[in-house]
């Protein structure tokens, strides 16, 4: 694989600044490893990231900081494209990776596959101080998350028309 290791999240600078306002160390969990892992992980004591693609995992794993635990949870059955919608029925191990411990995460970033299912699974590992971010929230299919978590704000970056939503427990 000839790709370089990203050092910055694939999101707008405005979204990065918005996330940074809410980081106060502690424990973090992330769905979808990449530039966000490299960028945000140094601001936490422990940063856990789950990835669905073996190829991407193999590229990233040797380069993540020491405080990062990178988990590979591949889909069961058919091959899933690197980008595009996930299939929850094939990715239960990925979705439930956060539930492999009883740790409470104060920061959760959902920027990978099956975002609604991942947000729902995260509830078990949240408390009143936890914040969960969903990237690309302009996608209407993600709005059902509001049934399970309290939406605080949505920041829209007009240049790319992408949005970032911040949630907490209801």
What is the tens place of the pLDDT at every residue in 35-51?
999 999 999 999 999 99
- What's residue 20's pLDDT? 97
Rounded to an integer, the average pLDDT of 140-157 is 95
- What's residue 2's pLDDT? 45
pLDDT band of residue 79 (cuts 50, 70, 90) is low
Give whole-number Cα distances, 44 to 55, 83, 105, 140, in Å: 26, 27, 11, 31
pLDDT band of residue 157 (cuts 50, 70, 90) is confident
Domains of the chain (ranges; CATH) run: 13-169 (3.40.50.150)
What is the tens place of the pLDDT at every residue in 93-134?
999 999 999 999 999 999 999 999 999 999 999 999 999 999
Rounded to whole angstroms, the Cα distance separating 26 from 44 reads 5
- What's residue 158's pLDDT? 73
Model-level pTM? 0.93
């Amino acid at each position: 694989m000839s790709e370089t290791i990203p050092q910055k999240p694939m999101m707008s600078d405005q979204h990065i600044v918005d996330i940074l306002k809410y980081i106060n160390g502690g424990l973090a969990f992330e769905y979808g490893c990449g530039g966000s892992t490299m960028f945000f992980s140094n601001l936490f004591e422990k940063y856990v990231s789950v990835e669905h693609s073996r190829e991407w995992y193999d590229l990233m794993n040797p380069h993540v900081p020491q405080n990062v635990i990178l988990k590979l949870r591949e889909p069961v059955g058919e091959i899933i494209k690197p980008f595009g919608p996930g299939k929850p029925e094939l990715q239960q191990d990925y979705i439930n990776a956060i539930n492999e411990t009883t740790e409470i995460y104060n920061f959760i970033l959902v920027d990978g596959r099956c975002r609604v299912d991942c947000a729902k699974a995260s509830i078990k590992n949240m408390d009143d101080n936890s914040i969960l971010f969903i990237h690309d929230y302009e996608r209407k299919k993600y709005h059902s998350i509001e049934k399970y978590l309290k939406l605080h704000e949505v920041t829209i970056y007009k240049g790319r028309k992408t949005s970032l939503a911040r949630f907490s427990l209801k």
